[in-house]
Amino acid sequence: EPEVTQTPSHQVTQMGQEVILRCVPISNHLYFYWYRQILGQKVEFLVSFYNNEISEKSEIFDDQFSVERPDGSNFTLKIRSTKLEDSAMYFCASSYRVRSGNTIYFGEGSWLTVV
Amino acid sequence: KQEVTQIPAALSVPEGENLVLNCSFTDSAIYNLQWFRQDPGKGLTSLLLIQSSQREQTSGRLNASLDKSSGRSTLYIAASQPGDSATYLCAVRNAGGTSYGKLTFGQGTILTVHP
């Protein structure tokens, strides 16, 4: 079964460093998302991306965050200058469309630890 | 603002029991509702998606129902097995506006099925 793949599975970074999390969405999907889950908290929406632009973002997704689809297969989340509170599991997700019958599929996550 | 709540927060049952997990949401204007399973430190596996026009969906031993007007969904697991032990998450996608697939998650129900 097709799946969303994410790399790295775990990254430790120093506060203030830039981090890029990578994702390969399911190949025929058109909509891409990033979510995050701080330990012990709910999964939270960060951003959705369609047709090479951001279609919606949450208040969490400030100027420190950016997303990019650099080629036909990868989808990346960049955090410019990491803070301790950015430590979380980051999930990439994709869907074929956004109609009511379309499932959103999630990857295994990238666990980011900022020290 | 949509809020999703899941009850109970944790549930421990002996193998073979039938069980019900509950999810409630505050804004009934939704496109769909998805139930996910999350194993510790892992990604989100989609179990069932119910569209707003549907009342229930079934997959194997799982049955999910939706009562949109009252803002409730239940996930019924028949003949539970130790392999069902995981956190079960409910997520809704709001209708209208410029929502491009943003999901709002509950905090999850931690299920333990003991032999």
Residues B32-62: tens digit of each pLDDT: 999 999 998 889 999 999 999 999 999 999 9
For A1, A6, A50, B34, B114, the CA distances from B111, given in Å and listed in that order, are: 26, 26, 35, 17, 10
Q: Give the chain A residue whose CA is nearest to the CA of B92.
A: A100
How many angstroms separate the CA of residue B102 from the nearest CA in chain A? Answer: 6
Phi, then psi, of B105 in degrees rounded to 5: -100, 150
pLDDT tens digits along A20-74: 999 999 998 999 999 999 999 999 999 999 989 999 999 999 999 999 998 878 9
From the list B52, B101, B105, which residue is nearest A42 (CB)? B105
Closest residue, chain B, to A92 (C-alpha): B43
Q: Does the pLDDT of residue B76 top 90, yes or no?
A: yes
Is the pLDDT higher at A1 or at B77? Answer: B77
Residue type, A54: I
DSSP label at residue B29: -
pLDDT class for B97, splitting at 50, 70, 90? Answer: low
